Amino acid sequence: MSPLMVANTWRRSAARVVRVSVLMMRKPTIKSLSSAEQWLLGSMALALGAVAGIWLLLGPVPMAAPHFIAFVLLIASLAASLVMMGLVGRTRRQMEAVLEGRLSAEARAIEALRHSEAQWKEVFEHNPVMYFMVDATGTVLSVNTFGAAQLGYSVSELLGKSVLKVFPAEEQSAAQSNVAICLENIGQTHSWEICKVRKDGSTLWVRENAKAVRLDGRLIVLIACEDVTERKQAENALRQSEMYLAKAQRLSHTGSFGLRVASGELIWSEETFRIFGFKRAPSIKLATVIQRIHPDDRGRVQRTIDRASSAGKDFAHSYRLLMPDGSIKHVHATAHAMKDASGGVEFVGAVTDITARKRAEMELHEAQATLAHVRRVTALGELAASIAHEVNQPLAAVVTNAAACRRWLNRKPPDLKEARGTVEAIIKDGNRAGEVIQRVRALVSKATDQRAALHINDVINEVISLVQHELLIHQVSLRLELSPDLPLVIADRVQLQQVILNLVINGIEAMQPVADRPRELVIRTCQDETRQIVVTVKDCGVGLAAENAGRLFDAFFTTKSGGMGMGLSICRSIIGAHGGRLSASGNAGPGATFQFTLPVTQEGAP
């Protein structure tokens, strides 16, 4: 119950008591009392004067001396009565004045009270607070006009009725228990928020302050309610919005965070807590969070944050979390730098759990690697004869040399010098055969993404050694224009070999129908103006059909009857993964040119 209301109630009661007593005092009039006294005194003096005069005129002529005495006495008594009249009149006036003063003060007091009561009544009736006075059974004893109007009722419609009338069914028990609580704790103020229903059925939210008091010997509950519907709606809207946001964060696995650099304090959203696997708290220390980061990423993350903090710059980074159960989560965080009120750096950002995406990426990567591997093995299958030839050549040399060596040794005397030289040749050729096998094995192996610094020309030469036979069969002459002073590239040797192999085989196949001109394949390496390494494979074959140019690198697009349409698509993704670009163009003359670029430093490779 509001103190205002309590005070108001008391004042009202007091005002009523004062008014009653004043009404009782007003019955006799002071004015009539005063004139009666005056008239009594005046008439007594006049009566005395008249008796004396009559006695003088009508009585026996007195002796000169007694007569004179009598006359003097008459005069004296007249004078005395006049003085007395004067005195009495003054006293009366004084008394009247006092009485009048007292009367006007009373009138003012009454007036003031009346005014005050009107004011209080005005306050009570129209103060934008709903006042209810209910008895212990919940019957409305009093309600202000505003309160009734707010609920769409007139005061008379509510008086004497159960206060439950203004509560919707689902709130009635709450309303009852609220009143009960007040009655149990007399004199204590309780407050709550509750929904009420208007006469027209619409609802409004109110905040109620209530207090049970004992008035005139019985318990009543004084209730003041304030309409909080708007606030409640705003609150609800905010809560809804927060709920949506939380839901959206949950759905997108994205949490938000704020970081005050100075205090190292993080403010997190629910989802952020969920991602990091911490219990919800108003704030959390950055140092605590850092401990959850995978030890291998911790240093890097700390450095990123430190750098961004000192520079006041935005940052974005990905890292892993090592959860208490030993599982790994991949997250990506982006943050925007701001200045707080004191000029310190503050970050606002979002952190996304990208574990599922990472896993999908990894699976995709694996699938691509498997496909690339299948494609490599297929290509090697096509090259089987060529590879056999490459192994067979040194093998033939080894066998022949070994036989020769035996003959040198069987001579009488043995020619050891020749034999020794022959053994050297055997070792050299044996190694050469081994290298070919290794190269093939590398291409067949599933191991990928073993990046190392390498010379692109070496990679090309290794591939060329595998396709010699193919070139021969198809009577293709190969021209190598390899720039000798190229910088190293960081790349996966096998993957690059696959790309070059694919381009070379494509070139050879494209020249198969050519009969009217020499079949020449040119492989060129150089550096472009941006220092990127450029590898060009140019054929003089059938060229590119204009309608196919756009789809060349699409998966499953092929112009070959037996082709799977994966070769160029895989090549493009391999080169893309190395930070380069694979493109194709028609030659000015016959044939087509395939070209790919590779960055010379690791930057640019993802």
Residues that bind other proteins (CB under 8 A): 385, 388-389, 392-401, 403-405, 407-408, 411, 415, 418, 421-422, 425, 428-429, 432, 469, 472-473, 475, 477
Alpha carbon distance 554, 571 (integer Å): 11
Shortest CB 519 distance to other proteins, Å: 11
Shortest CB 374 distance to other proteins, Å: 24
Alpha carbon distance 434, 443 (integer Å): 14
**Nearest CA among 451, 498, 452, 459 for reference residue 480:** 459
Q: DSSP letters of 461-475?
A: HHHHHHHHHHHHHTT
Shortest CB 457 distance to other proteins, Å: 21
Residue 142 β-bridge partners: 133
Shortest CB 429 distance to other proteins, Å: 5
Shortest CB 502 distance to other proteins, Å: 23
Alpha carbon distance 425, 574 (integer Å): 39
Tell me the backbone φ, ψ of residue 91, rounded to 5 degrees.
-60, -40
Is the backbone peptide bond immediately before 414 cis, with ω within 30 degrees of 0? no
Any idea what the Cα angle at residue 561 is, between residues 559 and 566, rounded to 5°? Answer: 60
Longest dimension (CA), the chain: 222
Q: How many CB atoms lie within 10 A of CB 269?
A: 21
Alpha carbon distance 430, 394 (integer Å): 7
The residue among 224 and 405 lying less far from other proteins, judged by its C-beta, is 405
Shortest CB 472 distance to other proteins, Å: 5
Tell me the backbone φ, ψ of residue 49, rounded to 5 degrees.
-60, -45
The residue among 53 and 414 lying less far from other proteins, judged by its C-beta, is 414
Residue with tokens 């070994």: 402
Shortest CB 414 distance to other proteins, Å: 11
Shortest CB 591 distance to other proteins, Å: 20
Alpha carbon distance 469, 456 (integer Å): 22
Q: How many CB atoms lie within 10 A of CB 596?
A: 25
The residue among 142 and 465 lying less far from other proteins, judged by its C-beta, is 465
The residue among 198 and 406 lying less far from other proteins, judged by its C-beta, is 406
The residue among 226 and 418 lying less far from other proteins, judged by its C-beta, is 418
The residue among 155 and 404 lying less far from other proteins, judged by its C-beta, is 404
The residue among 384 and 545 lying less far from other proteins, judged by its C-beta, is 384
Q: Map residue 408 onto helix, strand or coil.
A: helix
C-beta separation of 443 from 494 below 8 A: yes
**Nearest CA among 185, 216, 151, 149 for reference residue 9:** 216
H-helix or E-strand containing 257? strand 254-260
Residue with tokens 């007569």: 67
Shortest CB 321 distance to other proteins, Å: 57
The residue among 272 and 422 lying less far from other proteins, judged by its C-beta, is 422
DSSP state of 434: H
Structure tokens at 141: 């004893």
The residue among 125 and 418 lying less far from other proteins, judged by its C-beta, is 418
Residue with tokens 């056999």: 388
The residue among 432 and 439 lying less far from other proteins, judged by its C-beta, is 432
Rg, Å, the chain Cα set? 58
SS (H, E, C) 317-344: EEEEEECCCCCEEEEEEEEEEEECCCCC
Shortest CB 480 distance to other proteins, Å: 13
Q: Map residue 599 onto helix, strand or coil.
A: coil
C-beta separation of 395 from 401 below 8 A: no
Shortest CB 418 distance to other proteins, Å: 7
Shortest CB 405 distance to other proteins, Å: 8
The residue among 373 and 432 lying less far from other proteins, judged by its C-beta, is 432
The residue among 116 and 400 lying less far from other proteins, judged by its C-beta, is 400
